[in-house]
Chains A and B, each alone.
Chain A
Amino acid sequence: MNENDWVYTEKVQDHFMNPRNILEDINEYDFDGKGMTGNLQCGDEMLFVIKVDQDKNVITDCKWKTFGCASAIASTSKLSEMAIGMSPEEAYDLGPNQIIKALDGLPDRKIHCSVLGDKALRAAIDDYWKRNGMEDKIPKDKKKVVCNCMNVTNHDIEEAVLHGARDFEELQEHTKLGTVCGECKPEATRMLEEYIEKHFSNDS
């Protein structure tokens, strides 16, 4: 351990100290899609806006804003670089693993709470498709983050149900969902019931 060693890698430091593609003024940025995720209470919130060349089907530019810690800022910055030049479909598949890899890693405890940029980017792409009459491109059974604080998706909830979760407390034991701000409780409870219904009704 060196006194100049950070808890973060050099790439994270670089993107934290010199963030790329910050959105300066949303009123002066003519975007084709906008998406947001997280909230202030959780301590992380991200916004993505994208420009798309519809003929070439390429993201030509994207900008972001982030409220969060160093790894939240760095991961959003890195993601913005990765997305430019990709098709919306390609960018849609970018997930935390690719971002973390591109940053040469993040401390374990940072991954769940701070890498949310991909969700904001996906929301921005959804928004672009919606605005341009391409709703059919939005994946139907797509992953949707239910608990922003702990980054728990509808897929995680379904899996927890398949592994035996039958009420909200059991769901929390399986996923840690709703253990921070608790805002997701109503939606999570509804999904829990849906998945129980889907997999276990008329079983007898």
Chain B
Amino acid sequence: MSTRKVYLDHNATTPLHPEVKKKMKEAMDVYGNPSSMHNFGRQARKYIEEAREEVASFINADRDEIVFVGSGSEANNTVLSLINCPWRACNMDSFDRPEIITSEIEHPCIRETAKCIDDSAAKVHYIPVKSNGKIDIEALKEKLSENTLIVSIMMANNEIGTIQDIKEISEIVHQYDTLFHTDAVQAVGKIPVDVKELNVDFLSMSAHKVYGPKGVGGLYIKDGTPFCPLIRGGHQEQGRRAGTENTIGIAGFGKAIEMRKKEMEEEEERLLVLKKKLKAGLKNRIDQLKFIGHEEDCLPGTLNVSFPGIEGESILLYLDMQGVAVSTGSACASGSLDPSHVILATGLAEEYTHGSIRISMGRRTTEEDIEYTLDAFEQTINKLKQMTTYTDGIRS
């Protein structure tokens, strides 16, 4: 067993920022219900509204446009569930506009919800992506019409890091008075996000991807946009999300965003240097590999690489034995029989589809970590190469 531990799975989740931890500890003593009018309640309310201010200003939104929810997945579910809304309180009669559009590389929480909708309320169109992970804009234009109620395209992909041209997409979408949602769970806190510039109607966020706690998400709802809550039965969050607020978690989210304002820019530059080193090192040491995702428009800390004829779960487990934590899009590790839908959507050659590894770095990743990781990769791939059937002479 190795002694060194290198965590390169920041797109899965991140450790709490020390300042976030401090803030959350402080909030633990604040037990009032934020909805209560008395002093105890007002104390808790203060934590939540401060956090709202932080989150809103970070993405250039107004305070009232931010709703705290239980996760990024909840934020995404809330938006797509508008189509299923049986109450019609939101005035969004899906039968006036019976179609929605999303992409082939969305997070499962969008895909699965879309699938539910496809079975019941509306027709769903899935837009393909190019090999670099960018949405096929022409295909989007083709499917878009007066029948489209909502378009949901993620801002940055969790597996390959590709960043979409959201501003361009939202402009196209709005030509039809169609609502536009972007899942920005992997983007907010990693790259600059300005909701006014992007002109989106809905935007989903998550705290734990940027050194905040698990179990807290945020949804931006542009002022004046039709909306219906997913969780009903309370006036919390201006009636847009029932349930007593998670004061501790929301306070942590606010602090995490406050720290992002201070650290994000510098970190972005640092991560880009590390990624360059990682890429060059892998290329030097391993003769057959492919990087997946867009060369420039990619999350600074994310690198997806695939090795032909070598299976991702095997790579992950060998690296784990050496203390290096990564993730894979291989079928075996996911528990399904198909490799990741994102990897398949990029149209990779079959010998590469089962061997993709996602390396996602973060604020504590160092140059030494990368050196160590390169050694671990070299050993791992060499060992697995001896075993694979993807070898000369086998098929003759």
Contact = CB atoms under 8 A, between A and B. Distances in A.
A65 B391 contact: yes
A145 B389 CA distance: 19
Nearest to B309: A67
Contacts of B333: 69
B121 interface: no
Contacts of B332: 43, 68-72, 110, 113-114
A171 B196 CA distance: 53
Interface string A5-31: 010000000001101001011110000
B313 A22 contact: no
Contact of A65 (B314, B321, B350, B388): B388
Contact of A150 (B311, B317, B330, B337): B337
B185 to A, nearest CB: 27
A44 B332 CA distance: 10
Given A43-B339, A73-B387, A109-B335, A65 B394 contact: yes
Contact of A43 (B311, B335, B386, B387): B311
Contacts of A65: 387-389, 391, 394
A79 interface: no
Contacts of A75: none
Contact of B387 (A27, A42, A66, A114): A66
Nearest to B337: A180
Interface residues of A, number: 36
A54 interface: no
A6 B311 CA distance: 18
A45 interface: yes
Nearest to B321: A17
B310 interface: yes
6 contacts: A17-B318, A43-B332, A68-B311, A69-B311, A180-B337, A180-B338
Interface of A: 4, 6, 16-17, 19, 22, 24-27, 36, 40-47, 65-73, 109-110, 113-114, 149-150, 179-180
* Nearest 10 Cβ contacts at the A-B interface: A69-B332, A69-B313, A43-B354, A45-B389, A41-B350, A67-B388, A65-B389, A67-B389, A26-B393, A180-B337
